A and B are shown apart, each in its own frame.
Chain A
Amino acid sequence: MIEALAFYMFAAITVASGVLVISMRNPVHSVLFLILAFFNSAGLFVLLGAEFLAMILVVVYVGAVAVLFMFVVMMLDINYVEMRQGFLQYLPIGGVIGLILLVELIVMLGGWHLEPELIATGAAPMPVPISVTNTQALGQLLYTHYVYLFQAAGMILLVAMVGAIVLTHRKRTGVKKQVIRDQLARTVEDSVELVKVETGKGI
């Protein structure tokens, strides 16, 4: 009962925030609703028992992707009013794609409904013993069987980072930085000059 309630809450908020993402006038609000949608989908994953996927969704999509969107939205000068004008033009093709997805869903679910044994024919996920959570199960594979690939992937990410820095980092001249040590080391003698101004004359 509580599970069903939780499911409907997460699902309804996900769908609602999905609609709001594309209908908001302010793109910053759109991104915020996108984050809400991600969080609620993560909730759905938790209900399915896939807590690792849920955490990854929050960490990767909210922590990185959505923040990147936010940067792009705030830093690029895009005329959103102009972008919206093509909406009606793109509506037919969007509708067709949506329709195809709907038909595919109906075919699949209809097939399962008519012949329940079909569900078992697909590649079923590995049965996970109750004692091992899926985070632990993944870790046991990743750090033992696939430790070589795991480390290799790490090296690739390091190359990506080094490459990005090599190709874009420039030393800028004339940038003023705050050096706290220098600020603290300043004395009254260095910075203040007392001038005796005679009355009626300038300095």
Chain B
Amino acid sequence: MPMAQIPNWIPAAPELFIAVMIMALLMFGVFQKQSSAADGINTSRVVSYMSVAVLALALLITVAFAGDRVAVFNNLFVTDSFAVFTKVLVLFASIVTILMAQGYLERHKMARFEYPILILFATLGMMMMISANNLMSLYLGLELQSLSLYVIASFQRDDSRSAEAGLKYFVLGALASGMLLYGSSLVYGFTGSTDFFQIAAAIELSSEHGLNIGIIFGIVFILAGLAFKISAVPFHMWTPDVYEGSPTPVTAFFAVAPKIAALALFMRVMVGPFGGLVAEWQQIVIFISIASMLLGAFAALNQTNIKRLMAYSSIGHVGYALIGIAAGSEAGIQGVLIYLVIYLVMNLGTFACILSMRRGDQMVEGIHDLAGLGKSHKPLALALTIFMFSMAGIPPLAGFIGKLYIFMPAIDAGLYTLAVIGVLASVVSAVYYLRIVKIMYFDDVTETLDRTSEKTIGWVLALSSIFIVALTFYPAPVMTNAAKAAASLFAG
């Protein structure tokens, strides 16, 4: 019997590295002495920093091995500039959220070493999603990510809100996975393959005989499953509850990394295998985009809890990102990628602010607790002002550039309604972003917040505000890399 050949694993080196290190760190954590609470905190701190090192190394490997499109493992796994670009974003988001979380976890007696390891698992799942080139590898990556997220949503297991968040996320996530699987089975049934290249070929072949209704049904179900994962309307219901109930560092992670990975997957699936059916899926994407933008703008107006507000804000931002996908062009995808970079930085910064909202031992989450911040915490208030102005899309901050590069391709593609509604929604959403600024600087002080002394959070705040301001003047690196990534998605 012939020996099986070892497949070419080099393109998947970052994933393999993370997977191996997860197991090593798990073993390390389990066999540490856990006799007292201080031991537990110590172990969690060590594992946290080692996880950051692992992710940083994986980031280096990802960048170092970047190259042309290669599909390995029997075409189950693909890597190209697009994958590298989004993987870098996801890895960066995970690194920053692990670093920001440590202080919170220690204060709230949930510093256990499993937390960074579950984040590593989720990151691995996201990287597998980004590189998926087959409906099966797509599903497995998605499940690996989702399962880890369900667990960390209820990580504060003594708190009933956290447990509720995890349970809600799990039940609705399982429903979404079911829809995704049903869609995948339809697509497999009508195209005869789960491989993205072959699905694209089959669709091209069948389009000569007119539309195949079964494939359309399959796409609709896959879209519904993916829309749930990016929390686009009408599959957004879980978002505010999960964001509010989860521990704040977990919410910070939810708001950035999984969104980026799921949007990357969304782009890969829509442009890759279903690229030949743009006209069919475009109307669905336009609808969920408009609905998300409007809901994100109007539903957030009445929110007083800042985590809930950020949930609606992220629904709105996903709506804007979907405009770029709806355009269906290379410029549109480039716009989405730029938007994702800016979204990532703005959210990390804002959550760093939320993580420093503390009074005594308690975290406060109401937006009215921010009153007087402009006088008592000048740097924090300044940073939050920058993020809020940027989220509202006010020039010359980065948020404006992101929206600009989203709306331009939409206009080019003739999607005028979409662009107009997008601009109007962003005017409405400016109300609640600017209200936070108003509360910070002009409202009467009742009780001031504590001074935060955490260095990492300070660094995140400083660096992200600098990035938001500087991007306007020096956008070239982000632009060129995003353009390269978008081009590689269309090259196949």
Contacts and interface: CB of A to CB of B under 8 A. Distances in A.
B150 interface: yes
A155 B19 contact: yes
A148 B77 contact: yes
Contacts of A152: 128, 137, 140-141, 144
Nearest to A156: B144
Contact of B76 (A148, A158, A163, A167): A148
A144 B26 CA distance: 28
Given A143-B4, A149-B137, A160 B147 contact: yes
B-side interface mostly: helix
Given A148-B137, A152-B141, A167-B151, A162 B73 contact: no
B114 A162 contact: yes
Interface string B121-136: 1001100100000001
A122 to B, nearest CB: 14
A167 B19 contact: no
B294 interface: no
Q: Which of A156, A160, A165 has the most CB of B within 10 A?
A: A156
A25 B204 CA distance: 61
A44 B31 CA distance: 46
Interface in A123-158: 140, 143-149, 151-153, 155-156, 158
A156 B147 contact: yes
Contact of A148 (B73, B143, B148): B73
B137 A156 contact: no
B140 A166 contact: no
Contacts of B155: 166
Nearest to B115: A166
A22 B245 CA distance: 44
A97 interface: no
B79 to A, nearest CB: 13
A60 interface: no
Contacts of A159: 118, 121, 144, 147-148, 151
Interface in A151-183: 151-153, 155-156, 158-160, 162-163, 165-167, 171
B136 A155 contact: no
A174 to B, nearest CB: 15
Contacts of B118: 159, 162-163, 166
Given A147-B73, A148-B73, A148-B76, A162 B26 contact: yes
A165 B30 CA distance: 12
Given A155-B144, A156-B147, A166 B112 contact: yes
B360 interface: no
Contacts of B51: none
29 contacts: A144-B7, A146-B76, A147-B73, A148-B76, A148-B77, A148-B137, A149-B136, A149-B137, A151-B19, A152-B128, A152-B141, A152-B144, A153-B140, A155-B19, A155-B22, A155-B124, A155-B125, A155-B144, A156-B144, A158-B22, A160-B147, A162-B114, A162-B117, A162-B151, A163-B148, A166-B114, A166-B155, A167-B154, A167-B157
Given A155-B121, A163-B151, A171-B34, 9 more contacts: A144-B4, A151-B19, A152-B140, A155-B124, A156-B140, A158-B22, A158-B121, A166-B118, A167-B151
Q: Shortest 4 CB-CB distances between A and B: which pairs?
A: A163-B151, A148-B73, A152-B140, A166-B114
